[in-house]
Amino acid sequence: MRRSLLLAGLLAWTAAVHANPAWDSLWRTPDQRAEQRLRQGKPAEAARLFRDPRRKAYAELQAGNFAQAAQDFAAFGDSDSQYNRGNALARAGRLQEAVQAYDTALARDPANRDARHNRDLVAQAMQKQPPKPQQGAGKDGQSG
């Protein structure tokens, strides 16, 4: 009888904890709660909760906040962070900066095949882009 009461109490307590987010904050750190949100497919919520700056940057990247992710990853000089910074910049359409971030990643770890691959893809994309019009050029390409 005591075991069943103990089990029932434990189950009731567990249900209360999951039903009330305030309880969750008593038992989990912000990073643990953020990690859970990330696993649940809620990266924007995770980014707001993370205290770890690298994990926050990754969550921003997953949430599609590319400019913020690139800015956050810029604080770290390691190869993986620069690779992720390059990914964020590329997704934001800032291709030249993305190539530079991939180059930084490769300078720190020449064996980083993902950085090499993505750098090559972005460089190819840059070559396929039409040239940007010069400022001040008129319809006929001449300055007015």
Closest CA to 82 of 110, 62, 107, 101: 101
List per-residue pLDDT tens for the chain, 144 residues long.
Answer: 666 666 666 666 566 555 555 555 567 899 999 999 999 999 999 999 999 999 999 999 999 999 999 999 999 999 999 999 999 999 999 999 999 999 999 999 999 999 999 999 999 999 987 776 766 655 554 544
3-state secondary structure of 56: helix
**E strand or H helix at 8, and its extent?**
helix 2-19
Residue 118 phi, psi dihedral angles, 5° rounding: -65, -35
As a 3-state breakdown, the chain gives helix, strand, coil percent values, each rounded to 5, of: 70, 0, 25
Closest CA to 9 of 27, 33, 17: 17
- pLDDT value of residue 36: 95
Residue with tokens 């940007």: 132
What are the CB-based long-range contacts (under 8 Å, 24+) for 29-32?
31/55
